[in-house]
Chain A
Amino acid sequence: MIPRFWLPILLLMLSFQAATAQEADNEKENTNQGRISGNLQLNGNFFMRDSLIGAANTPQYDRQLFGADSWLNLNYQNWGFDVGIRFDMFNNSNLLNPLGSFTGVGIGRWYVSKKINKLGITGGYIYDIIGSGIIFRAYEERALAIDQALYGIKTTYDLGENWKIKGFVGRQKQQFSSYSSVIRGGSIDGFVGSDSSKVTLAPGFGVVARTLDDNSMNNLVATLNTYSKADVVEMFPDTLGKEGPNYNAYAASFYNTLTAGPFTWYLEAALKSKEVIFDPFAKRYTVSGDTVLGRYVNKPGSVLYTSLSFAKKGLGLTVEGKRTENFDFRTRPQELGVRGLMHYIPPMTRMNTYRLLARYAAATQFIGEQAFQVDASYKVNKKLNLTANFSNITNLDGDQLYREILAEAYYKYQKKWTLTTGVQLQDYNLEVYFGKPGAAPAKTITPYFDFLYKFNPKTSIRFESQYMIMSEEHGELSDYGSWVFGLVEFTLAPHWAVTVSDMYNRDPGKASPIDPKTGEQAKIHYPRFDVYYTHKANRLSISYVKQVQGVVCSGGVCRLEPAFSGVKMSINSTF
């Protein structure tokens, strides 16, 4: 522990020492100035038990009552060096496990980077991406407790003005430790054309490999040796009893962005070698005679993703398509959910921000998905803008997973007021995304509006409302039934904003909580009250929140989130 803790500090000190020494050398020239920057994010949650909505029975609601998460990031740049360190703190935090409580404090990230002519070197915790992330993406998404940093070394080399090659090796971060599997990879990225070219290309090719550690492999083999013969014969038809799962898995992708006038076309094709992955929908025939869902399979993977955009004279059009098959690429196959993922597959749905429009979000399906999306916007004139979106997702057998149709109009009247209004239709597979067996899809129609009125350049008020009408299943409304949401936001720029909102389960569905007093599904209010204060690059907020359980998505990755009841405080500061 001690070397791990001191190493980043030592590196920082060495960097500063080197900087100081060089400073002495360069004092006369007085050409170099160091630059220090950073940011702080602090979240505090006060938990107030509300058994009716399901905000109960976790350590925070039962006894801890308070939890906090914080990230303090510091970066220093000088003499071609770029060093950084991040202090992470989790105190009785439910971020990593919404049902549990985690306490840990330490160095969440450090790195040292240096450019020596055409060679770039980075060591420490590295964030990076190949292509659109389909075969490799090391990134952080704090809202979902994702930190897929690579703990290792990365080098880059400029092959010319427009071509760059990079390589990396390391292990994936696991909170304050790291997974034992070794990840290595590289890519070559280029640009063909010039600023004046009518047609340009930005091609790239990347490869990533992962070597499983012995403990993970031993656990995998032990698990497969509990499987029935029929299941393992399917996995290793020719090598049963001789050769089983591979330690090494390889993924490669080719990608290119072609730009021609108003058109931009992105294409990425990725393949993954045969490896053992967990398929939650595969049937397993147990030795004891049961049939259950979910088992390991040994299959190769592939992803084909393309996006074509057109933009000219107020018209914007984007068409996207994606086909995914068995592309679950993790640092070890035992990891589930968002844990241990080494990559990121772009979502194929509109990123909705309004509360009810975003309630049913379609998480990327790694095992099998065919998706298609069209997004169009047209600026009729300076006042009116029209938007339409259609997305459709099926599994590889053609079964419907998700469909969304949205039409929206935006109208701006001088500088006085704006109105955004539209309607969204959704068809959401509860069985797949929420794991509800036999549940009929949630089919919703949600009209909405957002009206902003400016009293003067600094003072404004905003009204927002959505009404979600839910489909019926055997005489009952699906899932939580129908909702109405209303919000009023008053802004006194540049410092203050106050928001009051309520999400009301107007017509409860079969999954709505049952009121123990009446024995019937309750019509529950989920109010929220926020106060935001902003001063330059500092933002403080305090909120009273009652939040229904649901799927929370960020950046195309989702996880089930339990209900919340209590007070949230946050500080965000950049310096």
Chain B
Amino acid sequence: MKKHFLFLFAAAMLLSACKEIAPAVTGSMGGDNTENPVEDQLRQVIIEEFTGVRCVQCPAGSATIQDLLGQHGERLVAVSIHAGGFSPPYPASEYDFRTAEGDQLINYLDPPFSFPSAVVNRKLYPGQTDRQLDQGDWAGFIASELAIAPKVRINIEPDFASSSRELKAKVTLYVDEAITDPDVRLSLMITESDIKDLQLVPSSSTPIPDYTHRHVLRGMLTNYDGDQLTETLSDGSVIEKSFSFTMPADWDENHCEIVAVVSLAGTNKDVLQAHQVHVVE
């Protein structure tokens, strides 16, 4: 019996080993409000959240994204895509946030395992089985993406005519490092924030009417997976693209943003750079 407990003691010693040095945690240290002008543009990361007005847990995901935006400022771009089983509006909903592009993007970027769920820079990260990430992985992968220097910088010049509601956007890409991937695409999205409408939340058995929806994908000026860039993306090249679009009357231009994304296509869908500006400055 004594021998048995010697084994036990040895095993316990091996398992416990020495005291470890744990990493420091500070909690939120406030936001990064510094501007990120195109001349010295650092890496900007896009988080595409999949959500729905019938998804009771999704407001927690949206709140997390607000905290991340507060932390990273202009360097984080958020898009909330209403797609999937929780996205059909209620009969009393004022808006239907679903879009044809959103329905395609949820399949293009892998359907979520659970909600809330988001894709960060459309990347399949090591140790993950698909692009969709649970909340606990958002902050870490955003931080790791922000540390990478961008290969391309993006500038967007919006021009909105309130009388005709025509939105023109000139997108300029500055290539800082040759991109040799065979299929590179530019996506242009319109998002809208501060929309009050029904949303299911944990504190109520019925949807609340005055929930503030943010960064809602309203439409795209390109294909859902972007328009292919046919130009040579050599170091130093500058590519200009122009878009025009008539905004529907029920979109509030004062709360709309234009989001530009340069990404790869095919098996590797990684985003190289993202950028966002207000429709009306």
Q: Which residues of A contact B (CB under 8 A)?
A: 54, 57-59, 62, 96-97, 99-102, 159, 163, 165, 167, 174-175, 177, 179-180, 184-186, 188, 190, 205, 207-209, 213, 215-229, 231-233, 235-236, 239-248, 250, 278, 284, 286-288, 290, 292-294, 296, 333-337, 339, 435-439, 562
1/0 per position for B96-114, CB-CB distance to A under 8 A?
A: 0000000000010011111
A243 near B111 with CB under 8 A, answer no
Distance of A270 from chain B, by nearest CB (Å) = 15
Known: A101-B111, A188-B4, A294-B60. A242 touches B84 (CB 8 A): no
Tell me the smallest distance from the CB of A439 to a CB of chain B, in Å: 6
- A242, A288, A435, A562: which contacts B85 (Cβ < 8 A)? A562
Within 8 A of A (CB), among B55-74: 56-57, 59-60, 63-64, 66-68, 70-71
Q: How far in angstroms is the closest Cβ of chain A from B235?
A: 31
- B5's nearest neighbour on chain A, judged by CB, is A188
Per-residue 0/1 for B208-232: is the Cβ within 8 Å of any A Cβ (1 yes, 0 no)?
0000000000000000000000000
A518 → B minimal CB distance (Å): 13
Q: How far is the CA of A437 from the CA of B114 in the complex (A)?
A: 17
Q: Is B281 close to A, CB under 8 A?
A: no
Does B136 count as interface, using CB distance less than 8 angstroms? yes
Complex Cα–Cα for A527 and B21 (A): 59
A287 touches B70 (CB 8 A): yes
> Which residues of A lie under 8 Å from residue B205 when comparing CB positions?
436-439
Contact yes or no, A293 B60, CB < 8 A: yes
Q: Given the complex of chains A and B, what is the CA–CA distance between A287 and B112 in angstroms? A: 26
Q: Tell me whether B142 is interfacial, beta carbon within 8 Å.
A: yes
Interface centre among B25, B28, B66, B113 (most CB of A within 10 A): B25
Assuming the contacts A188-B4, A223-B140, A287-B70, asked whether A231 and B59 have C-beta atoms less than 8 A apart, the reply is: no
Q: Is the CB of B129 within 8 A of A225?
A: no
Asked whether A225 and B11 contact (CB < 8 A) given A97-B111, A334-B136, the answer is no
Q: Which among A186, A222, A286 has the highest number of chain B CB atoms within 10 Å?
A: A222
B136: nearest chain-A partner, CB-CB = A334
* Residue from A179, A223, A335 in contact with B138 in the complex, judged by beta carbons closer than 8 Å: A223
Residues of B within 8 A of A215 (CB): 126-127, 140
Interface residues of B in 1-41 (CB under 8 A from A): 3-4, 7-8, 11-12, 14-17, 20-29
> CB-CB < 8 A to B64: which residues of A?
226, 286, 292
Evaluate contact between A221 and B25: CB separation under 8 angstroms.
yes
B242 shortest CB reach to chain A, Å? 34
Q: With A219-B136, A437-B205 as given contacts, are A247 and B4 in contact (CB-CB < 8 Å)?
A: no
- Complex CA–CA separation, A54 to B135 (angstroms): 26
From A97, A186, A242, A243, B11 is in contact (CB under 8 Å) with: A186
In whole angstroms, how far apart are the Cα atoms of A246 and B144 in the complex? 21
> Do the beta carbons of B136 and A333 come within 8 Å of each other?
yes
| B15 in contact with A209 (CB, 8 Å) | yes
Whether the pair A99, B136 counts as a contact (CB closer than 8 A) is: no
Chain B residue numbers with a CB within 8 Å of A278 are 136
Q: What residue in chain B is nearest A100 (Cβ atoms)?
A: B111
Q: Which A residues lie within 8 Å of B23 (CB)?
A: 217, 221, 243-245
* CB-based nearest A residue for B111: A100
Q: Whole-angstrom distance from the CB of B156 to the nearest CB of chain A?
A: 26
Q: With contacts A215-B140, A219-B141, A292-B59 known, is A243 near B134, CB below 8 A?
A: no
Q: Which residues of B have CB within 8 Å of A243?
A: 21-24
Asked if B236 is at the interface of the complex by the 8 Å CB criterion, the answer is no
| Residue in A163, A232, A286 whose beta carbon sits within 8 Å of that of B67 in the complex | A286
Query: Nearest residue in B to A235 (C-beta to C-beta)?
Result: B25
Sampled A-B contacts (30; CB under 8 Å): A100-B112, A165-B7, A165-B11, A177-B129, A215-B140, A216-B127, A218-B140, A220-B140, A221-B23, A221-B140, A223-B138, A224-B25, A224-B27, A225-B27, A225-B71, A225-B139, A226-B139, A229-B28, A233-B27, A241-B24, A241-B25, A242-B24, A246-B22, A286-B66, A286-B67, A294-B57, A294-B60, A339-B113, A435-B56, A562-B85
Q: Are A236 and B113 touching (Cβ within 8 A)?
A: no
